[in-house]
């Protein structure tokens, strides 16, 4: 059986300001009407002997991941929650331990949740080759045939004079090179971009992990043994998992094992690692411009404009990228696309929050958007999904006014319960227990006006919650 293992714990910082730590690129709809996570799973359809997937994600993304899986019919997926980031080796060890409880020595197809693969039939062919190699005892990595001297990827050096024609023994894993080194790799041949995708049998992988990184395996096994089920999720033990070293699968196993082979990959792959990559994958006009969202241009060339909420006008610019979101705008030369991380570092140094989350915040019951705020007041637009409800709660420092603009609201205020329709409102005094629910079949939308001396999100005491939040 093939069990897909989807690594969905990345933060996608180089796609800031669209990708944020609490809402990273794998959960975004960058191309089409499906998120990158959903597209990763949907392109597996048609592979033979396919089992339910194992998805490894950060705890803070759990509800968004579960909702996106349900939207594409993956309600049986196992969702493993990483209590803290420990890189790919501990995450894969955890997934392999879990997979062994799902089938006898399954073959694991390890994929990142945030990659683009344009040619699905070629992808399936490469997977079939990799599965065959894995069944012969190999640990398989996919090497993307390079089309340019890329400095943003690591490389895999293969031995083309040995092994079968469909895959080659791996001689070396190389770090991201400078331009001259990358050019030499292309000139020599036998070098591939390291895609970060793998295929191996669970027992063989865990045996190699025990040989070369036993502390990673021990931490994964202990953390899973002490795991607990929570709704749709598997919560592994935090302390046991924290004992694992922060190490990638390449360093932990692949660079040490003599069983590693590379399957060449030509299926139109990209990790969409920066806005330059996004521009390359986007549709363009005759002048090389790509416009996403509301925009007007006069005489620009080779430029990317991405706008979420307002008109962006460009005049006579070249090789620029302009990324507009409701709370942040990025303007940069495309040649500096890899430098976005420097902006994130400055945001952190200034104790700002724009790297963490968008103005619109997602919750398991829906979302809210802070549309205005000032001294002693804040205005939010709240959307509650059909059948969902917020926690039973109270606030010590703020009162709230709720005005329904769409749908029906069921409001619990102390011992009173009332139904509100469009254009109706209610008032929640400071210190009153209250709860908001959507009993209808369409999203509930309302405006919340908060007033008081302190309006922070931590001014909340929960008494009951459908989603297990404290």
205 and 92 in a single domain? The answer is: yes
**Model confidence at 163: pLDDT above 80:** no
Co-location of 112 and 204 in the same domain:
yes
Window from 40-49, 133-142, 172-181, 446-455 with minimum mean pLDDT:
172-181
52 shares a domain with 181? yes
Q: What distance, in Å, lies between the first and last C-alpha atoms of the chain?
A: 39
The pLDDT assigned to 34 comes to 95
**Strand, coil or helix: 387:** coil
Does 470 map to a domain?
A: no
DSSP classification of residue 175: P
Are 406 and 328 in the same domain?
A: no
Boundary of a domain, candidates 203, 235, 270: 270
The model's confidence at residue 9, banded by pLDDT at 50, 70 and 90, is confident
Residue 161, pLDDT score: 56
* CA proximity to 204, closest of 89, 94, 108, 95: 108
Where is the domain boundary, 319, 349, 379?
Answer: 349
Angle at CA of residue 261, ends 255 and 264, nearest 5°: 115
Instruction: Over range 292-314, report the average pLDDT.
Output: 96
Give me the pLDDT at residue 107, please.
96
**Neighbouring-strand partners of residue 50:** 2
265 in the same domain as 298: no
Does residue 10 register a pLDDT over 90? no
Q: How far is CA 374 from CA 395, 430, 450, 451, in A?
A: 19, 19, 10, 10
Q: For residue 1, what are the contacts with CB-CB under 8 A and spacing of at least 6? A: 49, 50, 51, 102, 103, 106, 107
Contact criterion met (CB below 8 Å) for 241 and 120: no
Give the pLDDT of residue 229.
86
Whether residue 266 is found in the same domain as residue 279: no
pTM for this prediction: 0.89
Q: What's the burial of 299, exposed, middle or buried (CB within 10 Å: 0-12/13-18/19+)?
A: exposed
Looking at the structure, tell me whether residues 321 and 376 fall in a common domain: no
Residue 149 has pLDDT above 90, yes or no: no
In a domain, 354, yes or no: no
pLDDT at 282 over 60: yes
Rounded average pLDDT over 268-280: 92
Residue 200 lies in a domain: yes
What is the domain count for the chain? 3
Indicate the average pLDDT of the chain: 93
Return the closest-CA partner of residue 90 out of 103, 39, 98: 98
Q: Is residue 341 part of a domain?
A: yes
**DSSP secondary-structure letter at 452?**
S
387 and 243 inside one domain: no
Q: Is the domain of 102 the same as that of 247?
A: yes
Indicate whether 368 and 459 sit together in one domain: yes
Measured between alpha carbons, how far is 470 from 317 in angstroms, rounded to an integer?
50
DSSP 200-251: EEHHHHHHHHHHH-HHHHHHHHHHHHT-EEETTEEE--HHHHHTS----HII
pLDDT of residue 165 exceeding 80, the answer is no
For residues 414 and 400, give the distance between their C-alpha atoms in angstroms, rounded to a whole number: 14
For residue 78, give the nearest of 89, 90, 62, 449 by alpha carbon.
62
**66 close to 79: Cβ distance less than 8 angstroms:** yes
- Mean pLDDT across 148-175: 81
Domain membership flag for residue 228: yes
8 Å CB contact between 160 and 168: yes
Question: How many secondary structure helices (H) and strands (E) does the chain include?
Answer: 11, 30
What is the 8-class DSSP label of residue 121?
H
Residue 390 lies in a domain: yes
337 shares a domain with 374: no
Per-residue pLDDT, averaged over 272-294, amounts to 94
288 in a domain, yes or no?
yes
| pLDDT mean over 221-226 | 93
Using H for helix, E for strand and C for coil, what is the string for 277-324? Answer: HHHHHCCCCCCCCEEECCEEEECCECCEEEECCCCEEEECCECEEEEE
- pLDDT tens for each residue of 62-112: 999 999 999 999 989 999 999 988 899 999 999 999 999 999 999 999 999
Q: How far apart (Å, rounded) are the C-alpha atoms in residues 202 and 96?
A: 6
Q: Roughly what angle, to the nearest 10 degrees, separates helices 202-212 and 214-225? A: 120
How far is the C-alpha of 85 from the C-alpha of 66, rounded, in Å?
19
User: Where among 215, 241, 270 does a domain terminate?
Assistant: 270
> Does 35 share its domain with 54?
yes
Q: Which residue range forms the structural domain that includes residue 341?
A: 275-349
Q: What does the pLDDT average to over 310-316?
A: 97
Q: Comparing C-alpha atoms, which of 461, 330, 321 is closest to residue 391?
A: 461
């Amino acid at each position: 059986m093939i069990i897909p293992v989807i690594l969905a714990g990345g933060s996608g910082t180089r796609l800031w300001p669209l990708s944020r730590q609490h809402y990273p690129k794998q959960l975004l709809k960058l191309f089409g009407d499906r998120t990158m996570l959903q597209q990763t799973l949907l392109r597996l359809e048609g592979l033979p002997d396919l089992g339910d997937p194992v998805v490894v994600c950060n705890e803070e993304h759990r509800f968004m991941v579960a909702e996106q899986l349900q939207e594409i019919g993956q309600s049986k997926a196992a969702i493993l929650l990483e209590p803290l980031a420990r890189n790919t080796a501990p995450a894969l060890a955890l997934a392999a331990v879990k997979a062994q409880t799902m089938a006898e020595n399954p073959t694991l197809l390890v994929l990142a949740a945030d990659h683009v693969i344009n040619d699905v039939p070629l992808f399936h062919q490469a997977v079939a080759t990799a599965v065959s190699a894995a069944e012969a005892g190999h640990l398989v990595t996919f090497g993307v045939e390079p089309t340019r001297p890329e400095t943003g990827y690591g490389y895999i050096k293969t031995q083309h004079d040995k092994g079968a024609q469909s895959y080659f023994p791996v001689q070396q894993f190389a770090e991201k090179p400078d331009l001259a080194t990358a050019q030499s790799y292309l000139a020599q041949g036998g070098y591939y971009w390291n895609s970060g995708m793998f295929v191996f049998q669970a027992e063989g992988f865990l045996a190699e992990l025990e040989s070369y990184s036993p502390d990673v395996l021990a931490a994964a096994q202990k953390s899973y043994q002490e795991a607990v089920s929570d709704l749709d999720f598997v919560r592994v033990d935090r302390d046991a998992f924290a004992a694992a070293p922060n190490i990638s699968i390449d360093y932990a196993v692949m660079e040490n094992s003599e069983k590693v082979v590379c399957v060449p990959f030509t299926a139109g792959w990209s990790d969409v690692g920066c806005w330059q990559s996004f521009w390359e994958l986007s549709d363009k006009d005759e002048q090389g411009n790509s416009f996403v969202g509301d925009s007007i241009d006069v005489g620009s060339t080779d430029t990317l404009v991405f706008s979420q909420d307002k008109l962006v006008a460009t005049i006579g610019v070249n090789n620029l990228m302009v990324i507009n979101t409701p709370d942040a705008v990025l303007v940069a030369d495309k040649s500096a696309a890899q430098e976005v991380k420097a902006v994130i570092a400055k945001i952190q140094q200034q104790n700002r929050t724009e790297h963490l989350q968008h103005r619109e915040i997602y919750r398991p019951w829906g979302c809210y958007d802070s549309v205005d705020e000032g001294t002693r007041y804040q205005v939010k637009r709240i959307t509650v999904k059909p059948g969902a409800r917020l926690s039973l709660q109270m606030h010590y420092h703020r009162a709230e006014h709720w005005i329904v603009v769409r749908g029906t609201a069921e409001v619990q205020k102390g011992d009173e319960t009332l139904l509100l329709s469009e254009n109706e409102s209610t008032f929640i005094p400071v210190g009153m227990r209250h709860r908001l629910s959507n009993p209808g079949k369409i999203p509930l939308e309302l405006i919340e006006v908060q007033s008081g001396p302190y309006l922070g999100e931590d001014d909340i005491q929960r008494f009951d919650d459908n989603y297990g939040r404290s």
